[in-house]
Chains A and B, each alone.
Chain A
Amino acid sequence: MSLKATEVKVGDTHEEEVCRNLSRTQIVQYAGTSGDYNPLHSDEIFTTQIAGYPSVFAHGMLSMGMTGRMLTNYVGDGRLKSYGVRFTAQVFPGATLTAKATITDIREENGEKIADIEVSTTDEAGTQIIKGKASALLD
């Protein structure tokens, strides 16, 4: 399941479609599990009439969570040392998202082999919605 230092090299990539045609129901599902019930994510009336957005939109943390799934599928369960992102565009219902990891460095830290990873998630129009970094323990 985990990546081996002898098998990965700088420039290697891993890509997954992490959501197709994002539903409002999935956004509601995330509100329920995360506890973030901000009406901007589920309440179209409040969001359009009071907040002034064109539509409800996904929690940034939902996009980060879905992108994290690509990472854990790639590096293995319990292997992440760090994971951080910047939310670069909003994600609206109907979005199809593809998350990509690129190995940028392989290094040793305290006797452990660590891979540094660049993270990028884009929507169906190619707009980047997440730009981030992660690091993971290698075998």
Chain B
Amino acid sequence: MAADKFPIEAGHIMMFARSIGDANKIYYDADYAKSTEPGATIAPPTFVQASAQFDPNYFLRPKIGEEWFGSAKEATGITKQEGSGGGGSGGGGGLHAEQHYVYHRQVKVGDVLTATSKPGKSWEKEGRRGGKLMFSESVTEYRDQSGELVVTATSVGVRTEKPATLV
């Protein structure tokens, strides 16, 4: 995940909170949020994942004018691509094995974050149903407008030789 500008917007937080079934008013009502300990609309703990929306090259979003590998008239729009992923789940056999966040401070509406990713460790394991599992880490640092670290995210992706029993 890489984004030059990840603006933290109230409407996006509201919709994200809805999608995870979180009815906490801090995500919906700015006046209520002012009365809480954080004193502002903050993001749910996994919200920075939505920086994918602001990653211009994010593989798992249809791009304007390009073919999409999901179904259209046929079961796939194009020949299945290799090398998907980027720490997350890919259509070509890559899946999301682990996700870890360290919060240095809360993400708040009005922040404009940058996200920079670098590869972490990688390792292999035999799968429960046979076949090799190949794990790789990606570490993303989210920094605010003054360069301060806000969230460190570590994603572990796994690629398999056959459909895995992981997510």
Q: Residue A69 contacts which of B15, B44, B99 (CB distance < 8 angstroms)?
A: B44
Is there a chain B Cβ closer than 8 Å to A104's Cβ?
Answer: no
User: What's the Cα separation between A83 and B102 when bound, in Å?
Assistant: 7
Q: Contacts A38-B91, A65-B20 given: A87-B98 contact, CB under 8 Å?
A: yes
Which chain A positions have C-beta within 8 A of B75?
A: 45-46, 49-50
The proximity string for A residues 45-66 relative to B, scoring 1 for CB distances below 8 Å and 0 otherwise, is 1100111110001111111111
Shortest Cβ gap from B70 to chain A (Å): 3
Known: A35-B53, A85-B99; 5 extra A-B contacts, CB below 8 A, are A35-B55, A69-B22, A72-B44, A84-B98, A87-B97
Which chain B positions have C-beta within 8 A of A19?
A: 21
The proximity string for B residues 96-121 relative to A, scoring 1 for CB distances below 8 Å and 0 otherwise, is 11111111001000000000000000
Is there a chain A Cβ closer than 8 Å to B131's Cβ?
Answer: no
Are A53 and B163 in contact, with the CB atoms below 8 A? yes
Are B20 and A30 in contact, with the CB atoms below 8 A? yes
The proximity string for A residues 69-95 relative to B, scoring 1 for CB distances below 8 Å and 0 otherwise, is 101110011101111111111110000
Is there a chain B Cβ closer than 8 Å to A126's Cβ?
Answer: no
Are A64 and B46 in contact, with the CB atoms below 8 A? yes
Q: Residue A38 contacts which of B60, B98, B99, B100 (CB distance < 8 angstroms)?
A: B60
Q: Contacts A26-B21, A38-B90, A58-B167 given: A77-B98 contact, CB under 8 Å?
A: no
Secondary structure class of chain B's binding surface, majority of residues:
loop
CB-CB nearest in chain B for A84: B100
Q: Residue B46 contacts which of A29, A68, A86 (CB distance < 8 angstroms)?
A: A68
Are A35 and B52 in contact, with the CB atoms below 8 A? yes
Q: Contacts A33-B15, A60-B96, A76-B37 given: A87-B21 contact, CB under 8 Å?
A: no
Are B49 and A60 in contact, with the CB atoms below 8 A? no
Which chain B positions have C-beta within 8 A of A2?
A: 37
Total interface residues on A, using CB and 8 Å? 55
Total interface residues on B, using CB and 8 Å? 54
Is there a chain A Cβ closer than 8 Å to B140's Cβ?
Answer: no
User: What's the Cα separation between A49 and B101 when bound, in Å?
Assistant: 35
Which chain A positions have C-beta within 8 A of B97?
A: 86-87
Is there a chain B Cβ closer than 8 Å to A115's Cβ?
Answer: no
User: What's the Cα separation between A34 and B88 when bound, in Å?
Assistant: 12
Are A78 and B99 in contact, with the CB atoms below 8 A? no
Is there a chain B Cβ closer than 8 Å to A40's Cβ?
Answer: yes
Which chain A positions have C-beta within 8 A of B24?
A: 69, 72-73, 77
Q: Residue A87 contacts which of B55, B76, B91, B96 (CB distance < 8 angstroms)?
A: B96
Is there a chain A Cβ closer than 8 Å to B89's Cβ?
Answer: yes
Q: Mind listing 15 A-B residue pairs with CB under 8 Å?
A: A2-B37, A32-B19, A35-B50, A36-B52, A49-B71, A50-B76, A58-B167, A60-B96, A65-B16, A71-B45, A72-B45, A78-B37, A82-B101, A84-B98, A85-B98
Are A30 and B167 in contact, with the CB atoms below 8 A? no
